[in-house]
Amino acid sequence: MKVCSVVGARPQFVKAGVVARALRDVGGTHEVMIHTGQHYDRNMSAVFFDELDLPHPKYNLGVGSATHGVQTAKMLVGLEEIFVAEQPDVVVVFGDTNSTLAAAISASKLHLPVAHVEAGLRSFNRSMPEEINRLVADTVSDLLFAPSEHARAQLLSEGHSDARVLVSGDVMFDATLLAAERARDVSDVQHRLKIEADQYFLATFHRAENTDDPARLRAIAHTLLELANVAPVVLPLHPRTRAALKRDALLERVEAGLLVCEPLGYVDILRLIMDARAVVTDSGGLQKEAFFVGVRCFVLRDETEWTELVAAGWNRLVPPGDANTMTAKILDASPWSPVPIRPYGDGNASALIAHALKDRYGSD
């Protein structure tokens, strides 16, 4: 079975890493890794290939940064040529980025089967580019790997046939389980940042809805500066966020008040999550990673796709608005007693996915 896996942005490297490993374990498969080049800085891309033992991409389209239209169009042109040349049995796409969208459209137009890992998630906010990407990817995919029963129910409610949906669990849970021990053993990130376990907040944010809106950006920056009066705030800075803070003349204050660092590799970020007093983020990945390692997470969004975690009390939404209200929510001293839940499988999602792909698209 020949599989073309398409990745391009940071969270996809983590997801594709565990699926690649599972495909190798299943055997009889040949995976061609295609990188769109959506993310290109070393610490946004190459570092993950090294750490996660990802197959070196056979192709890198080098699309880089551009408007959504230009970025997606360049991917469509490049991917079509590759798919025609490779003639895979199935194209695998991950998550909700522009790379997911382009690969799903390109493959389906060539009548190649598409499998979507992390299907059925919805924020119900169509102003987010990721929501459009999810809706389109799910619509044109042949096989939908849902990370939870909740995601499966959503797909069925939209009219996707049961035969196309498989609840695999979440590949990010697999990735966390695999890397957690390594993070504990080898990461010296706390030493580098001169912070102590349980004594710091870990913050990340990069979503367009937060960086491109000056009022939301300012509210988040002020909230983090307030938190820093209570405990150090570590902020690995996504390039989009750095540019936005600079644009709005906030970067200097943020760098003076917070522990700002470059984007971190997977093992270091996992280590920081594990030992944080709390995580404050708009990232879909960190919301779950905090839950996987039992750390409280405040979500800088108006809504989230990972609703189970909010309902069970693990995560709390902190919509960017008034900085005082946001800070009060995060520092709220009432006892935290989340309900134990296990919505994302048993840590074997990637094996389930690899077997399902082989069963359905393997030739023997």
Which residue, 1 or 75, has its beta carbon nearer to ligand UD1?
75
Q: In the complex, what is the shortest distance from the CB of residue 207 to ligand UD1, in angstroms, rounded to a whole number?
A: 7
Answer yes or no: 206 catalytic. yes
Helix, strand, coil share of the chain (percent; to 5): 50, 15, 35
Least distance to ligand UD1, CB of residue 238, Å: 6
**Contact flag: residue 96 with ligand UD1 (CB under 6 A):** yes
Q: Evaluate whether 282 touches 301 at the Cβ level (below 8 Å).
A: yes
- Rule CB under 6 A: is residue 74 a binding residue for ligand UD1? no
Which is nearer to ligand UD1, 28 or 214 (by Cβ)?
214
With CB under 6 A as the contact rule, which of the stretches 5-13, 152-160, 251-259, 314-322 interacts with ligand UD1? 5-13
The yes or no reply on residue 55 touching ligand UD1 (CB under 6 A) is no
How many CB atoms within 10 Å of residue 93?
A: 33
Exposed, middle or buried: residue 193 (CB in 10 Å: 0-12, 13-18, 19+)?
Answer: middle
Say how many residues touch ligand UD1, by CB under 6 A: 20
- Is 10 one of the binding residues for ligand UD1 (CB under 6 A)? yes
Residue 136 sits in the site that holds ligand UD1 (CB under 6 A)? no
**In angstroms, rounded to a whole number, what is the distance separating the alpha carbons of residues 350 and 54?**
14
* Alpha carbons 119 and 336: distance in angstroms, whole number: 30
**8 Å CB contact between 24 and 54:** no
DSSP assignment, residue 231?
S
Pick the binder of ligand UD1 from 4, 9, 165, 274 (CB under 6 A). 9
Position of tokens 């119900």? 124
Q: Does residue 41 touch ligand UD1 according to CB under 6 A?
A: yes
| 243 touches ligand UD1 (CB under 6 A) | yes
Candidate residues 36, 98, 148, 307; the one interacting with ligand UD1 per rule CB under 6 A: 98
Q: Does 97 bind ligand UD1 (CB under 6 A)?
A: yes
Which residues are CB-contacts of 12 (< 8 A; sequence separation ≥ 6)?
94, 95, 97, 99, 100
Specify the stretch interacting with ligand UD1 by CB under 6 A; choose among 23-31, 95-103, 147-155, 195-203: 95-103
- Residue 133 CB, shortest distance to ligand UD1, in Å, is 6
Instruction: Output 291 or 361, the one with its CB closest to ligand UD1.
Output: 291
Site string for ligand UD1, 198-217 (x = CB under 6 A): --------x-----------
Residues 6+ apart with CB under 8 A from 176: 270, 289, 292, 293
Residue 50 and residue 23 in contact, taking contact as beta carbons nearer than 8 Å: no
- Residues 6+ positions from 114 with CB-CB distance below 8 Å: 90, 91, 92, 93, 103, 104, 107, 108, 137, 140, 141, 142, 143
Interface map 273-292 toward ligand UD1 (x if CB under 6 A): --------------------
Residue 347 in contact with ligand UD1, rule: CB under 6 A = no
Which residue is listed with tokens 């540019």? 243
Q: Which residues pair with 305 in a beta bridge?
A: none
Q: Which residues are catalytic?
A: 206
Binding site for ligand UD1 (CB under 6 A): 9-11, 38-41, 44-45, 65, 96-98, 129-130, 206, 238-240, 243
